Amino acid sequence: MTAESMERSVHYQEKDPGSRWIKDADVAIDSDGPLDSDRTLTPNVVKMEGGYRMYYHGLGPDRPNPDSMGYILSAFSTDAQRWEKEPGVRMDAGGEGAADYIWSPDVIPLEDGRYRMYYEGKTEQEAGTKAAIVSAISDDGLTWEREPGVRLEAAGMSYLAPRCLHLDPAASHRFRLYASAYPYPELQVPPGAFTNRNIVSAVSADGLSFAVEPGIRVPQDQDLEVFAVYAPEVLRLGEGGLRMYYAGWTSAPEVTAGSKYHGRIFSASSQDGLEWTKEPGICIDNGGRWDAAKASEPCVIDLPDGGFRMFYEACDMEGRWRIASATAVT
């Protein structure tokens, strides 16, 4: 890949998809298979030869490792509308920082033709569940091998839901990783109080060793984000600047089978990737057929007709999780 193609390979769009979206009628990925009937979450879609590959978190009764509480699966589509699940598990839990289960894959191509997957690993500890960002490597996007070590961790923090952008190849920092940052152990706060769950960033020269940048990229400061701001999807724009889609969570007015929290998808914009301005309104609200309880974990791709589609995890009031989608109003 050339330097320019690397920068534009993922998390890049020539045009701004905007903040207006219409939910699609059908789900993209249903939770109806032996590997994903218990949970179908956290979509990440990457253009591959011949179409699109979606990576997502799954859990089901036929998991190959009975001790695993979650892993990464994949599906393929030629048009980003009709998806066929691919057999097998792409990446299972295990190893440093990811002993028990893994979520939120983010796949980027590398200069040598391989792919790297960043993902959130979780480990059960006495003080609760600790999350860190770990990674895996692949030649073909299907068979993955865990990379040694941890990409992003801290003693008093959990890092979740990564998105990694290629930066200017001539710069000292060639990668910027956005992630959610949660205090660990979790803070005990009264109902309705902000929980200090924000979106931060880190930079790296090699994509393996990351240093957290000072400050908070997107803070909790709105009523519909009182539980968390979470799961950034960041797009560099050909027309200049960047757009972020992210989830805001708040406690549900009553506990349902679906979730103790309601989730919605919001948007923010930036000129430099560091200072972000939240845009008014909600991009995707909960309350539909598939997402009555929660809409979260956005992922945006461009379509062959020049439009855009957002994939996101959706939870109904019965507690069933699916991957839903919406189309941009341009």
For 204, the domain range is 3-328
Token pair belonging to 275: 């200072």
Q: What b-and-e string marks burial along 222-251, b requiring 16 or more CB atoms within 10 Å of the CB?
A: eebbbbbbbbbbbbbbeeeebbbbbbbbbe
Mean per-residue pLDDT, 207-223: 97
Contact in structure between 324 and 43 (CB atoms under 8 Å): no
Q: How many structural domains compose the chain?
A: 1
* Interstrand relation of 175-183 and 157-166 (parallel, antiparallel or unpaired): antiparallel
Residue 147 φ/ψ, nearest 5 degrees? -90, 140
| pLDDT exceeds cutoff 80 at 215 | yes
Convert the pLDDT of each residue in 168-198 to its tens digit: 877 788 999 999 999 999 888 887 889 999 9
What confidence score (pLDDT) does residue 120 get?
A: 98
Q: How far is CA 107 from CA 22, 145, 321, in A?
A: 26, 13, 22
Mean per-residue pLDDT, 240-249: 97
What confidence score (pLDDT) does residue 253 get?
A: 73
Token pair belonging to 240: 């200049």
Convert the pLDDT of each residue in 26-54 to its tens digit: 999 999 999 999 999 999 999 999 999 99
CB atoms within 10 A of CB 200: 21
- The CATH code of the domain that includes 125 is 2.115.10.20
Q: Quick one: the chain helix, strand, coil %, rounded to 5?
A: 0, 50, 50
